[in-house]
Structures are given as C-alpha cells and as structure tokens.
Amino acid sequence: METIKADIVIVGGGGAGLRAAIAAAESDTGQSIALVSKVYPMRSHTVAAEGGAAAVTQPQDDLEYHFNDTVAGGDWLCEQDVVEYFVAHAREELVQMEHWGCPWNRKEDGHVNVRAFGGMKIERTWFAADKTGFHMLHTLFQTSIKYPLIKRFDEYFCVDIVVEDGRAQGVVVIEIATGRICFIQARAVVLATGGAARVFRENTNGGIVTGDGMALAYRQGVALRDMEFMQYHPTCMPGTGLLFTEACRGEGGYLINKDGYRFLQDYGLGPPSDEPRNKFMELGPRDRVSQAIWHEKQKGRTIDHPHGQVVHLDMRHLGEKKLRERLPQIYELAEEFMGLDPAHEPIPVLPGAHYTMGGIETDGRTATSLPGLYAVGECASVGIHGANRLGSNSLVELCVFGRVAGDEASSYAKSARNSSTATLEKKADDICNRVRGLVNNANGKERIADIRNEMAKSMEEGCGIYRNAPVMQKTCDKLEELKQRYRSINIEDKSSAWNTEWLLAIELGYLLDVAQAVACSAINRKESRGSHQRLDGYEQRDDQNYLKHTLARYNSEGPPGIEYSKVKITKSEPGIRAYGEAGEKAEAERNKKKGAAHDK
C-alpha cells in the first residue's frame, strides 16, 4: 500500500473543506494540505444551496439581532458563545467571498443586496440569484487553484481515520478510478464531509450526502451531538424531494391549502399581510412551517397528489419577470421537472428531510475530543443551530468555521509529531484488509437497495416531523435488524476500477450507524423542542430536564449509549419562542425585562 505524506489532510471538498484548505494554505507555516473528496469538489452538495447566506449588513441591523434570531430559532439549544463568534465574523467572510469573485446580487449603487429569509428579523441574506451555493462553491474551488500547497485527491473515497497514540494521524482512502487503497499520513485531520439527510426517504440531498465523516468519527469514539434534530424543509418537490428554496417565500410567495387559504395564520404565525413580513407567516421558521403542513394534512385540508398530500406554493402574483430574475433555477425546476409554469400555476410541495443540525461534537474552535481531529460544516455540531437551523446560516457557517478549522489544524500540525510511519502503516494495512474483505466476502443474499430503502422508510415513519415512542421504538428495532442483515450483503461487482457497488455498500454502513444515532437520540429526548416534536405526552419543551445536548456514543455491539452535556448560555435565558404577532409581543416583553434589569 502506498503512503502519501502531508502535513494536514482535509476530507471533504465542499464549502467547508475548501474554505479550511485555503485558510491552512494562507497560514504562514508552509504546510502541505491533502484535500480529499469522493467527487470533484465542484460536485459537492454545497452546489445545491439556493437561497443565500446571512450576515448583518444593513445599518438598522445589529449583531445582537442575528444572535437572538439564531438562538431563539434554535430553541435555546445553541452554544451562545459560539453563536456570538459566528455572527461577529459572518460579514467579513462574505466580503472575503466577494473579493474572491462570488457574483453576489447587487443594488443599483454597486453594493451587495440582501433578501428576507425565514426567522430573521431584518433582511440580511446575501444571495447570488437562487444559486448561492453553486456560486460560492465554484468561487472557492476556483480560488483554491491559486494555492500550490493544496494538493487535491479528487475522487478518492475515505474509509477510515488512522488513530495511534490517542491522536488522529491520517486517513485511508480508495482511489476510485483504480480501486487502489492508500494511506495519507498527516499530523492533523479535518472532516468536512457534509450532512446525512439521505437516511430519510423524501429528502433534498444529493446521493453523496451519506454521513460518512460522522460515522467515521463516531466509530472512533467521538460523540455525535444532537442527532435527533433533523430539519424538514417545508417546500420540496413531491416524489423526488428536490428543494424549492425558502427565498420563494422571502420574495413574497404564499403557502395555501386546498381552499386557497393561507393556513399558516392558524398556527401562531399570523396575521397575514400581502407583502412578506419578517418572522410572520411564510417567513416563520422551518420547523413551525413544516409542522403546520402536517396538521393541515390531519385536518384533511391538503391536496391529493400521486406522491402524497401536498399544499401549494403560490408565486403567481410575483409575475414572470421577477421570478425569472430572482428565482431562475426554481422556474427551471418547476418547468422542466414538473411541467408547470409557476407564473401561472401554484407549485405542489410537501416537507422533505433537508439538514442535519447535529453532528460530530466539537468545541467552538472545531476541535473534537480526539486530539488532531477537527470537524466542520454540516458534518459537525459546533453549536450554532441548536434544535432548528435558520435558513442561510449554514453557508456562512462553512466560511466562518472553515477558516477556523484551517487555522486550528495548521497550528496543531505545527507542534504535533507523527508516530513512526511503520506503526501507522501497520494500522492502515489492517484497515485496507478489512475494506477489501467487505467486497471479497460479500456473497450473501441481501441487496444493498433493499436495506437502504427499508432504512429510509423506517426513518421517515419513526423520526419524521412528529414522533412518538412506539413508532420510534419500531424504527430503532428495524435499524438493529438491518444492521444484522447488512452483514450478509451481496456485492456482485468484484472488480477494482470504479467499483461503485462497493462504495455504495460502504456508504450504507455509514448511513445505518448515523440513522441509529438519530433514532436513539430521539427516543430518549422526552420533550418537544425545535424540530423534535412528540405527540405522546411530551408536547412541551422541558428546560428542567432537557436544556441539554444529547451525546450519542458508538457501541459496536448494539444501540449507542446516550449521555447529555450542558448548554452554554451567555446572555439569552430560554424564553418563549414565538413568531408573528405573538413573537412581537414576546420580544417587547423581553426588552422591557432587560430595560428593567438595566435600571436596577
């Protein structure tokens, strides 16, 4: 097996991985960076992000507001010191993206323009039409080419982290085109492998979003934090789950039920107005909007569709011109994938699994509990999303914390020493044999697709928008069963070059572990908070017992161990999380209290 030496290895060429690589390359250490990605970086799923990236920009806005929106949006399960750092560094990172060439939409005077987004008090979402992630990713990828210290390993698939002497010291990868396995030795390892929403059936994620880095860190004993919080996006294409960005509503689109009624007013988000109003109605947070759709379905007020019960996203009143200018990709998706013209017909939509709020537990500087191992982006839980992420916070997270990860990994690598190469190669060899064994011994009769589909269906039933113990338990049991069956999986393809069946099998292993962490974390949280909503006697938030992070710990013998850790509160005590008119009242109350405290 070949050994490749680098100072730092980054697994993941999405927004987070690329930003980390550039930061490391810009540090003054002259360290070499191996950037590993199972697809060419510009294919990473950051490419699919549509709506935009949030940073305090307008004079009437304030870091305090962005902080409050984020913490209340996360139902107070955020690490508040980390959120403070995040909002304070958001704008400079987006300006940095601008300097690197990102084609942000502009105002007439040439300054960057912002749009409204759900759960945000003031418009602060920077956007590049409705292809923000695409433009950010290509900008980062193309900019990374400037740095000779970044050596890319495009289409290399990571199968494990090499841990020796209690530290991460490299990764083992498959060169996909040849099937060759190599060891990349490094003194610091950064995971930036993205989310895991493919554990669900109806989802907005690309085929590559299979939780790989989460599973790898988890199997090495690093905790997965807050995995029960999976975000359902309210407006997805029935059947495929493809996303219609929240910007559709930010630009003024309505959600209506089968009677043409803007039903969100019945769920504490009203009163309705014709023009979009921040934190009201369609600009409520995603968890609340998805939950409202679920209730409409129970009330029989949704619309029959071949792929399930839907509501309508109505943008007809915005007119073709505005839609083509601000939402061209949405127009294209509606026209080409659904054969309808959104300027003249409403779009049928339903909620789909979208974003993994939880992830690999890190501190505010992206370090995990395993020395030398860092995690960043959607695969990580750095602490800013809590129980529900606000749209347009995560693209910024990639930049703000990608940079931190690059800096931290490079200063760690400066002082760390590798164990002897021979010792590390021995470990890598064992991993190599295990991974090859998977394909050579896979002569069972279980079909990859069957296990994957049964998992995704069971996750949707047990860990969907509303949850209760019996169904969650069924999902937990099902996952145990599927993990057993996974052992007698069949891989027909025994070849080396581009053996994608082998890769699918490995990914399925990752998915099953991550799914189990989600389901077991969920069943143990006996309250309702943010995107975790229960209907079995735990309908309320319970700060007494559950103002805590869940930590799921891997157990090779069965379900994970569940522990809890404290939430860092600096300046925002848990309060009533309300939107619409009620939200305004709650905010006035809070300000009054604060004012009174000041007067004392």
Partner 1 sequence: MTSNDKIIEIEVLRYRPEQDEKPFLQSFKVPFTDDQSVLQGVQYIKDYLDGSLSFRWSCRMAICGSCGMMINGVPKLSCKTFLREYYPGKITLEALKHFPIEKDLIIDLSDFINKLESIKPYIIPAAPRTLEQGEYLQTPRQLDRIAQFSSCINCMLCYAACPQYGLKPDYLGPAAITLLHRYNEDNRDAAKAERMQLLNAHEGVWGCTLVGYCSDVCPKDVDPAAAINRNKLNSTMDYFLRFVAPRGGN
- By a kind-dependent CB cut-off of 5 to 8 A, residue 448 interacts, out of ligand FAD, partner 1, none, with partner 1
392-395, Cβ contacts within 8 angstroms, sequence gap of 24 or more? 392/51, 392/52, 392/53, 392/54, 392/117, 392/120, 392/125, 392/246, 393/54, 393/70, 393/86, 394/49, 394/355, 395/15, 395/46, 395/49, 395/52, 395/53, 395/132, 395/133, 395/136
Among 25, 243, 431, 489, binds ligand FAD (CB under 6 A): 243
- By a kind-dependent CB cut-off of 5 to 8 A, residue 95 interacts, out of ligand FAD, partner 1, none, with partner 1
- By a kind-dependent CB cut-off of 5 to 8 A, residue 392 interacts, out of partner 1, ligand FAD, none, with ligand FAD
Work out whether 192 is an interface residue with ligand FAD (CB under 6 A): yes
Torsion of CA 136, 120, 464, 368, to 10 degrees: 60
Among 28, 109, 259, 304, binds partner 1 (CB under 8 A): 109
Binders of ligand FAD in range 401-420 (CB under 6 A): none
- By a kind-dependent CB cut-off of 5 to 8 A, residue 146 interacts, out of ligand FAD, partner 1, none, with partner 1
Q: How do strand 33-37 and strand 8-11 relate by DSSP bridges?
A: parallel
Work out whether 337 is an interface residue with partner 1 (CB under 8 A): yes
- DSSP letter string, 520-561: HHHHH--S-BTTBEE-SS--S--HHHHSEEEEEE--TTSSPE
Binders of partner 1 in range 470-529 (CB under 8 A): 490-493, 495-501
Distance (Å, rounded) from C-alpha 92 to C-alpha 558? 45
Binders of ligand FAD in range 28-67 (CB under 6 A): 36-39, 41, 44-46, 48-53
CB of 94 to partner 1, least distance (A): 8
Distance (Å, rounded) from C-alpha 575 to C-alpha 590? 8
Binding mask 427-466 for ligand FAD (x = CB under 6 A): ----------------------------------------
Using CB under 6 A, count the residues that bind ligand FAD: 48
Beta-ladder partners of 525: none
Distance (Å, rounded) from C-alpha 408 to C-alpha 212? 22
Distance from chain centroid for Cα 8: 24
Binding mask 128-167 for partner 1 (x = CB under 8 A): -x-x--xx--x---xx-xx-------x-------------
**586, HSE (Cβ side, Cα atoms, 13 Å):** 15
- Element spanning 581, H or E: helix 580-599
User: Which amino acid, 201?
Assistant: R
Q: Are 223 and 370 a contacting pair, CB within 8 Å?
A: no
Q: Which is nearer to partner 1, 206 or 574 (CB)?
A: 206
CB of 395 to ligand FAD, least distance (A): 3
Work out whether 355 is an interface residue with ligand FAD (CB under 6 A): yes
Catalytic residues: 233, 249
Binding mask 156-175 for ligand FAD (x = CB under 6 A): -xx-----------------
Among 63, 65, 100, 164, binds partner 1 (CB under 8 A): 100
Beta-ladder partners of 35: 10, 152
Among 45, 124, 354, 467, binds partner 1 (CB under 8 A): 45
Work out whether 110 is an interface residue with partner 1 (CB under 8 A): yes
Residue whose structure tokens are 């690490």: 79
**What does the binding site for partner 1 look like in residue numbers (CB under 8 A)?**
39-40, 42-45, 47-48, 92, 95-96, 98-101, 103-112, 129, 131, 134-135, 138, 142-143, 145-146, 154, 177, 206-208, 239-240, 242-243, 306-307, 329, 332-333, 336-338, 447-449, 490-493, 495-501
